[in-house]
Amino acid sequence: MAEEIRWAKTHCARMDHGGCALLVGVQGNEIVQIKGDPEGYLSRGYTCYKGRVSADRLYHPDRLRYPLRREGKRGEGKWRRISWEEALDVTATNLLAIREKYGARAVGFGAGMPKGLEHFVLIRLANIFGSPNVIASQDVCHAPREVTGVHTCGFYPVADLHNPTKLILSWASNVLSTSEEGQIASLITEQLKNGAKLIVVDPRRTELAEKADLWLQLRPGTAQALALGFLHVIIEESLYDSDFVEKYTYGFADLAKQVKPYDPQTVAGITWVSPDLIQKAARLYATARPAALQWGNAIEHDLNVFDAARSLVCLMAVSGNLEVPGGNINAHDPGIMGLGPFVRADLIPDKRKEMIGAFHGTIPKMMTVPPAYFRKAVLDGIPYPVRGYYGMCTNPLVAWADSEVTYKAFMSLDFIAVAEIFMTPTASLADIVFPVAHQYEMNDIGHYGIGHGMIVARPKIVDPPAECWPDIKIMNELGKRVSDPQYWHDDFEEFVEDVVRPCGLTYAEFASKGWLKGPDLFGLHKEKGFRTPTGKVELKLSTAEKFKLRPLPEFTGLPEEDDPEYPLILISAKSRYYLLSSYRWIEKLRKKRPYPIVEIHPETAEALGIADGDEVIVSTRYGEITQTARVTDIVHPRVVSAALGWWFPESDAAGQFEWRRSNFNMLTSIGKLGREFGTPNLSNLPCRIRRA
């Protein structure tokens, strides 16, 4: 007789930023069912398909199960099984040799989208090792919003979807597919059910756009122009919050002058949104208080991101929506361990001066190295040589802009170690591959350090395969080999205890509570002002000259000029079935989306002789790839939206799993970068398309 199902509680993770509360059914040591937990603070019973099938990650026959050491040439796909002892010793020996020869900064520590507590243990490892260079995708993911927020209003203003709001302005955000940063789809649908109005700014008619009161189908890459158009209407028509503006903002008169030229007619010419719709949307947003601006990742995908993010914070401020419930808030953490002590920031006081990015003039408070600059260091030794790489939770060969340059850079490194759950294009270039334990197999903490004022528990439910270790354990043991063991724990499990200890809790007690949230503190500025040099929201940046920043947001032009050779505009959106390049190997997900799809408007398809289902070649000035056409009017006739993150696990490690064939980042370049964050044009590129 089959054993009875035991139900355990945890939170979903590593399928996106995570956050849905789950009930996980277990028989023996195997997860047999996953469903939503109605008591979930962020999700209230909601789950998406990929969350429900997420245990399939653990049981794939090709999952990495032993440490591997490269045999033959780099990237040849030949491996030898080795012991943990050997894997850690070889890695330590190589990293120490590089440090000896070139200095600690010649080792880059790589992470991708923050997935769990290991992200911060990696930063700690880098700090203790002595390297200021943590390489991550923050250049195109959240640092622009967070850091611009901090410079403008002293914090990262997140949409408050937990208190009732009158209106949601969803700007370049596709929450119903992405639930980004724990802004779970169900939080938005609940607000809409309770009567909140909805404005969607998106070049694609998404599921959310279908539900919107107003949908603004802007020309990709013109966010800042549209936002300045909103500001123009709001200021010209005196719809702003005059009390807030007077007491709590700096540079309003300058901003008013700055947005004068951005009248609806002019802005319509740039953004393709009609003057009438710009006016209507701006009026609706300014008058519905509170209104929450849910800003998404797509504004971070071209070199104009600083102005785009700046203009959106100005919009939140003048409309009186900062630090109000149901608006955009400063989410305060519960009394957990602070990031600084956790990562031992004290050990590397000169980090800002020493890191690769600083040499290129990245904005203060940008604390990771943009991948574009990392590769310059590897390939050209600018500003100094970088020869080694330890990476986890990331797949740069597919995830970073300009994949050919990534390939060259990784091929030229002296030593690469990668921790993975599965062999990927990037892992296939490594010298050492560590097999990791995964979600459900280790105690972990979600949402630590991502600015939403809460953490969620992800307790261990089943045992990992014998030789799969949590990243945290790998780094704890590697740390002891490359630095003074006093910085590391006897038992790696102490890391999760460290985070919650200041709250007077053990990890087990935290796990039984499920989550911890900081206090709701709204309107702190009324007593304390804003944490900026002027104590106000800096519509005009008082530090502009010092940091060589533009004092006021402006539209300086399209990310790339129009080009008659490439008459269409290429964009992308994240797939609801995959996390960027991850998990193409999970059968149930692959069935839902077996191949990469590029969306193209019926008129454009007809003119080009392309039918639904045709194989097509998508090309930009930088490269070309093959995807499959989906003919659909959710995109504008001049816009095509291609799929991200594709490689083919069913193919061969010796060829890096056909990483060139359909990978979006073959179409991108790091030739032009935004200075503040080193952001490349990941999107909004002139392109053309033809039948294969």
Ligand X SMILES: Nc1nc2c(c(=O)[nH]1)N[C@H]1C(S)=C(S)[C@@H](COP(=O)(O)OP(=O)(O)OC[C@H]3O[C@@H](n4cnc5c(=O)[nH]c(N)nc54)[C@H](O)[C@@H]3O)O[C@H]1N2
Binding site for ligand SF4 (CB under 6 A): 12, 15-16, 18-20, 43, 47-48, 50-51, 179, 184
| Gyration radius from the chain CA atoms | 24
Residue 639 binding partner per list ligand X, ligand SF4, Mo ion, none, with a CB distance cut-off of 5 to 8 Å that depends on partner kind = none
How many angstroms from the chain centroid is the CA of residue 356?
Answer: 21
Q: Which does 318 bind (CB under 5 to 8 A by kind): ligand X, Mo ion, ligand SF4, none?
A: none
The angle subtended at Cα 413 by Cα 657 and Cα 391, nearest 5°, is: 65
- State the DSSP H helix or E strand holding residue 316, giving kind and residue range, or none if neither: helix 305-318
The residue among 182 and 229 lying less far from ligand SF4, judged by its C-beta, is 182
Pick one of ligand X, Mo ion, ligand SF4, none as the site partner of residue 580 (Cβ within 5 to 8 A by kind): ligand X
**Site membership for ligand X, residue 399 (CB under 6 A):** yes
Residue type, 79: W
SS (H, E, C) 514-570: CEEECCCCCCCHHHHCCCCCCCCEECCCCCHHHHCCCCCCCCCCCCCCCCCCCCEEE
Compute the least distance from the CB of residue 138 to ligand X, in Å: 8
Instruction: List CB contacts of 579: < 8 A, sequence separation 6 or more.
Output: 14, 15, 16, 50, 113
Position among 131, 133, 191, 394 found at the interface with ligand X (CB under 6 A) = 394
Q: Do residues 144 and 313 touch, judged by C-beta distance below 8 A?
A: no
Of Mo ion, ligand X, ligand SF4, none, which one sits near residue 139, judging by CB under 5 to 8 A according to partner kind? none
Token match 């649908």: residue?
Answer: 189
Considering only residues 115 to 134 of the shown chain, the ones binding ligand X according to CB under 6 A are 115
Tell how strand 388-392 and strand 107-110 pair up: parallel
Smallest gap from Cβ 645 to ligand X, in A, equals 6
Q: Using CA atoms, how far apart are residues 54 and 589, in angstroms rounded to an integer?
A: 9
**Cβ atoms 434, 67 nearer than 8 A:** yes
When binding is defined by CB under 5 A, the residue of 48, 98, 107, 141 that contacts Mo ion is 141
- Closest approach, Cβ 184 to ligand X, in A, equals 10
Q: Using CB under 6 A, which of the segments 25-33, 89-97, 498-506, 678-686 binds ligand X?
A: 678-686
Which listed option, Mo ion, ligand SF4, ligand X, none, makes contact with residue 19 (CB within 5 to 8 Å by class)? ligand SF4
Q: Which does 18 bind (CB under 5 to 8 A by kind): ligand X, Mo ion, ligand SF4, none?
A: ligand SF4
Judged by CB under 6 A, the chain residues 643 through 662 that form the site for ligand X are 644-645
Q: Scan residues 612-641 and list those touching ligand X (CB under 6 A).
A: none
The residue among 12 and 291 lying less far from ligand SF4, judged by its C-beta, is 12
CA distances from 29 to 24, 58, 422, 463, 686 (A): 12, 11, 21, 7, 51
Using the rule CB under 6 A, which residue among 54, 91, 177, 304 binds ligand X?
A: 177
The three-state secondary structure class of 150 is helix
47 binds, among ligand SF4, Mo ion, ligand X, none (CB under 5 to 8 A by kind): ligand SF4
Nearest residue to ligand SF4 by CB is 51
Binding of Mo ion by 15 (CB under 5 A): no
CB of 601 to ligand X, least distance (A): 14
Which of residues 14 and 452 has its CB atom nearest to ligand X in the complex?
14
Is residue 12 a contact point for ligand X (CB under 6 A)? no
Smallest gap from residue 50 Cβ to Mo ion (A)? 16
Identify the CA nearest to 387 among candidates 101, 138, 119, 656: 101
- Rule CB under 6 A: choose which of 430, 664, 679, 686 binds ligand X: 664
Nearest-approach distance from CB 501 to Mo ion, in angstroms: 30
DSSP state of 68: E
- d(C-alpha 395, C-alpha 469), whole Å: 19
Residue 203 sits in the site that holds ligand X (CB under 6 A): yes
Choose between 202 and 323: whose C-beta lies nearer to ligand X.
Answer: 202
Residue 428 binds ligand X, judged by CB under 6 A: no
**Interstrand relation of 68-71 and 432-435 (parallel, antiparallel or unpaired):** antiparallel
Q: State the number of binding residues for ligand X (CB under 6 A).
A: 63
The least CB distance from residue 181 to ligand SF4, in Å, is 10
Q: How far is the CB of 672 from ligand SF4 (least distance, A)?
A: 33
Q: What's the residue count for the chain?
A: 692
- Record the tokens describing residue 354, joined without a space: 């020493």
CB of 421 to ligand X, least distance (A): 5
CA distance 530 to 523: 10
Residue 277: count other Cβ atoms within 10 Å of its Cβ: 18
Q: How far is the CB of 140 from ligand X (least distance, A)?
A: 5
Contact flag: residue 421 with ligand X (CB under 6 A): yes
Q: Which residues of 355-383 are buried (b: 16+ CB within 10 A; e: fewer)?
A: bbbbbbebbeebbbbbbbbbbbbbeeeeb
| One residue of 21, 34, 42, 113 binding Mo ion per CB under 5 A | 113
Site for ligand X, residues 465 to 494, rule: CB under 6 A: 471
Tokens of 634: 């959710």
Residue span binding ligand X (CB under 6 A) among the ranges 148-156, 248-256, 393-401, 530-538: 393-401
Q: Taking the CA atoms of 543, 547, 548 and 550 in sequence, report the sign of the dihedral they define.
A: negative
Can you tell me the distance from the alpha carbon of 412 to that of 545, in angstroms, rounded to the nearest whole number?
A: 39
Q: What residue type is assigned to position 536 of the chain?
A: K
Q: Are 106 and 384 in contact (CB under 8 A)?
A: yes
221 near ligand X, judged by CB under 6 A = yes
Question: Rule CB under 6 A: which residues touch ligand X?
Answer: 14, 16-17, 112-113, 115, 137, 140-141, 171-175, 177-178, 180, 201-204, 206, 218, 220-221, 223, 296-298, 301, 392-396, 399, 419-422, 424, 436, 438, 471, 571-576, 578-582, 644-645, 664-665, 668, 682-684
Question: Rule CB under 5 A: which residues touch Mo ion?
Answer: 113, 141
